[in-house]
């Protein structure tokens, strides 16, 4: 199963990704996690990522596509994968299609988790109190939402046109939402 999780900031992609990975035993790649890891490690990528992330902006497509390309070459990715936070722009989606095509593979499903902006913002501000992520503050959240509508939301049409998109209501408990996704995938 090759799956992409779509959704705005605070939609719960990361939370559902962990549950899906445990249930279906497929590797989970979160670009946000990869970038936060690079920041903590203090690599060149991490330094660059920090600037963009803290401004609520997206990193350049070529950097992100490069990271994903490396991951896709790993043997454990041969039995399916779950992407969370990638693709986030049309060029990234096109890049992914090309990389998969060249391996004779394709996506099986794109799940868009839908949550109203106010609820998403509340969740992120709550997370800010617990996790202390430098991009979970009101100003950066506003920008992340704006960037989502400008650059990521158009992916819903992109994937709808090829019959891959499934929208899932992201309001409810973690288990309720997981059940909605599972029913669809099964």
The set of catalytic residues is 13, 88, 127, 133, 144
Residue 120 CB neighbours (<10 A): 23
| Beta strands across the sheet bearing 28-30 | 28-30, 81-84, 2-6, 109-114, 165-169
The reply to whether 39 sits near ligand ADP by the rule CB under 6 A is: no
Tokens for 110? 């794109």
Among 26, 29, 64, 155, binds ligand ADP (CB under 6 A): 64
**Nearest distance in Å: CB 162, ligand ADP:** 19
Binding of ligand ADP by 58 (CB under 6 A): yes
Q: Tally the residues of the chain.
A: 186
SS3 121: helix
Residue nearest to ligand ADP as judged by C-beta position: 32
Q: In the stretch 132-151, what mask flags binding to ligand ADP with x, by CB under 6 A?
A: ---x--------x-------
| 96 belongs to the binding site for ligand ADP (CB under 6 A) | no
Burial 151-178 (b: 16+ CB within 10 A, else e): bbeebeebbeeeebbeebebeeeeeebb
Stretch of 30-38, 74-82, 105-113, 166-174 lying at the interface with ligand ADP (CB under 6 A): 30-38
Judged by CB, which is closer to ligand ADP: 88, or 180?
Answer: 88
**Nearest C-alpha neighbor of 152 from the set 35, 3, 11:** 11
Query: What are the residues binding ligand ADP (CB under 6 A)?
Result: 9, 13, 31-32, 35, 52-53, 56-59, 64, 85-86, 88, 92, 135, 144
């Amino acid at each position: 199963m090759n799956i992409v999780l779509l959704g705005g900031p605070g939609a719960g992609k990361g939370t559902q990704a962990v549950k899906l990975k445990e249930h279906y035993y497929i590797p989970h790649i979160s670009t946000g996690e990869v970038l936060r890891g690079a920041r903590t490690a203090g690599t060149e990528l991490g330094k660059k990522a920090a600037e963009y992330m803290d401004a609520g902006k997206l990193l350049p497509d070529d950097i992100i596509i490069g990271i994903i390309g490396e991951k896709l070459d790993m043997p454990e990715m041969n039995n399916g994968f779950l992407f969370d936070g990638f693709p986030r722009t049309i060029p990234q989606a096109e890049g992914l299609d090309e990389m998969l095509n060249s391996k004779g593979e394709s996506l099986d499903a794109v799940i868009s988790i839908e949550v109203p902006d106010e609820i998403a913002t509340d969740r992120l501000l709550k997370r800010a109190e617990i996790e202390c992520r430098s991009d979970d503050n009101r100003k950066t959240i506003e920008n992340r939402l704006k960037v989502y509508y400008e650059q990521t939301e158009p992916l819903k049409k992109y994937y709808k046109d090829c019959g891959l998109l499934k929208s899932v209501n992201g309001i409810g408990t973690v288990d309720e939402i997981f059940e909605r996704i599972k029913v669809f995938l099964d």
